[in-house]
Amino acid sequence: MATAERVLSLRDLGRATLARQLLLERQELAVDEAVGRLAGLQAQEPGPPYLGLWSRLEGFGAPELAEAIEERRVVRAALMRGTLHLMPAADFAGLRSAVAPAVGAGMLRVLGKRAEGIDVEQLVAEGRSLFEVSDALSAKAMRDSLAERHPEADVRALAAVVRTQLPLVRVPDGGRWGFTPKAPFTDAERWLGKPLRESPDRKELVRRYLAAFGPATARDAEAWSGVPQLGEVFDSLRHELEELHDEHGRELFDIPGAPRPSGDAEAPVRLLPEFDNLLLAHADRSRVIADRHRENLTTKNLRVRATVLVDGTVAGFWRAEGKATLVVEPLRKLSTAQRRAVEAEAAELLAFVEPNAKSRKVRFE
């Protein structure tokens, strides 16, 4: 175990996280291995993970991820913070129980009074029985089945409890990115053909988090996972983790031997999609986005905006406009060389998203 003497600057922390998130250099990795290395990709919508992998993998093609999903090597399910993520099947089977209590409790808090009087244990049993007689159910079919049993109840609240208490995965149903907005649910164990781990392994959850986003604090891990009271887990792992500090004296933890390049390491321009976990994986996000810009990262309807990384931090946002136009909104003045690098990366991203477009355009606002 290393000593706790080394102090990491903000740039050091940023470069370490970028290295682990495959954003300092595109890697040649199988899709499921890459998704595992990233500790999952947030997939509230099916498209962003494809763009996220394009920004991280050398020669990535959309069919690679589509095949991994169809072959059940990668699954789309509610995990960290109760949000939909893509995760390798083996990782989902092993880690789902570590976040499940927080996911279920979080939904009950969101429902508030709407959840009063619900017998969660009985409802979960009923929900499980629905998937014993049907391979897959849409959200509407689930609500309709629950309404037959509870005609006077708030069936949307009941369905929300079932979706978050049971281990369910989304079934690919043929949308452009593998799923349509109404992709059905199915029982995870049936889909994977094997049982999920029952006992929560929060230590492994912390290890996987640090490998993908460290060095970090317990609060950072809690913000990423949605699982409370991880400080005690970090304490129990002190004998195997490296202890460091940031410039403010905060204690940080890391996996010994994990990449920690110098803060001077070159960080190429990258365009990240909406909801990318790089922007959501820490309580203190200043290693990747300045605090003054953080309030603009999330829109009023809770969408996490697509970002432009320049020299390792968020230098702007981007959005698609029309069929084949990409609009860049810089947050700071860019040099001529930086602007050209952003434009080149944006043009390549447009070619990936719209390969058949007769013309493509990148515009700065």
Please tell me which of 110-124, 140-154, 266-280 the model is most confident about, judged by mean pLDDT.
266-280
The model's pLDDT over 60-69, given as tens digits with 9 standing for 90+, comes to: 999 999 999 9
Helices (H), the chain: 10-20, 31-37, 48-54, 62-70, 89-111, 120-133, 139-149, 155-165, 188-192, 202-213, 218-225, 231-236, 291-294, 336-353
Q: What is the mean pLDDT of residues 261-276?
A: 96
For the chain, the domains span: 42-192, 289-364
How far is it, in rounded angstroms, from Cα 290 to Cα 269?
17
Q: Is the confidence at residue 110, as pLDDT, over 90?
A: yes
Q: What is the mean pLDDT of residues 94-103?
A: 96
pLDDT of residue 193: 94
Directed axis angle between helix 10-20 and helix 202-213, to 10°?
A: 110
Q: What is the pTM of this model?
A: 0.94
Q: What is the mean pLDDT of residues 354-359?
A: 91
The model's pLDDT over 189-228, given as tens digits with 9 standing for 90+, comes to: 999 999 999 999 999 999 999 999 999 999 999 999 999 9
Residue 212: both structure tokens together = 């993908």
pLDDT of residue 3: 45
Strand, coil or helix: 298:
strand
Q: What is the mean pLDDT of residues 347-362?
A: 94
Q: Is the confidence at residue 106, as pLDDT, over 70?
A: yes
Q: What is the mean pLDDT of residues 252-276?
A: 97
Give the chain's length: 365
Residues 66-76 as b or e (16 or more Cβ within 10 Å = b): bebbeeebbbb
Burial category of 202 from C-beta neighbours within 10 Å (exposed 0-12, middle 13-18, buried 19 and up): buried
DSSP at 226: -
pLDDT of residue 234: 98
pLDDT of residue 5: 60
